[in-house]
Amino acid sequence: MKTNESSDKAIFGFWIYLMSDLVIFAVLFATYAVLRTNTFGGPTGMQLFSLPNALAETLILLTSSFTCGLAMLSAYKKNTKNTLIFFGVTFILGALFLGLELTEFSQLIASGNGPDRSAFLSAFFTLVGTHGLHIATGLLWMAVAMVQIKVKGLSDHVMSKLIRLGIFWHFLDVVWIFIFTIVYLMSHAL
């Protein structure tokens, strides 16, 4: 696909936004790393987190990254039907991931382990919740993009937006890999 100069600038600007987002996540990871042992006598990550559930979330999100890639490949081939199908599957997987994350949050809060319980849980809810907020934003963006594809087709303008959506979705997958490793795996290793 040939992009025009304004599309190239928009994509470059989006990369700058992603780098600022990366700084935010880096600060949240650093905060979590410092506070992960500050349980105030409460439960630790090992006692609270279910590795099978976190692994299921990881596999769902990684699969959504794959289907997002298939959607983009279809878009580059100007195959509107497959683009919509694969973005639809990506949306469903993203919504499933977000549902599992919200279920984990509600179970933790219902058992008295909300963000006000300890510095560790406050850092956990902030880090994972920020990622979840980004997933919700990505899902909204994806829904709007699918409507635009239906209405406007795969024009250069729509393609520019889809490229940025794909970059954003893959970025969230990479951030989740770090969350899975640092929050869930390391809580069971230490």
Domain range enclosing 93: 5-35+50-189
- What is the per-residue pLDDT for 190? 61
CA dihedral over 67, 71, 76, 78, signed as positive or negative: positive
Q: Please provide residue 65's backbone torsions phi and psi, each rounded to the nearest 5 degrees.
A: -65, -40
- 157 belongs to a structural domain: yes
- 41 belongs to a structural domain: no
- 22 belongs to a structural domain: yes
- 155 belongs to a structural domain: yes
- 75 belongs to a structural domain: yes
Confidence (pTM):
0.93
Give the mean pLDDT per block of 10 residues along the chain (190 residues): 68 93 97 95 94 97 98 98 98 98 97 96 98 98 98 94 96 97 89
Report d(CA 21, CA 29) in Å as an integer. Answer: 12
- 69 belongs to a structural domain: yes
- 112 belongs to a structural domain: yes
78 close to 86: Cβ distance less than 8 angstroms = no
Report d(CA 145, CA 147) in Å as an integer. Answer: 5
- 42 belongs to a structural domain: no
Residue 133's domain is classified under what CATH number? 1.20.120.80
- What is the per-residue pLDDT for 140? 98
Overall number of domains in the chain: 1
- What is the per-residue pLDDT for 11? 86
149 close to 158: Cβ distance less than 8 angstroms = yes
142 close to 87: Cβ distance less than 8 angstroms = yes
Report d(CA 71, CA 105) in Å as an integer. Answer: 31
- What is the per-residue pLDDT for 56? 97
Report d(CA 69, CA 147) in Å as an integer. Answer: 19
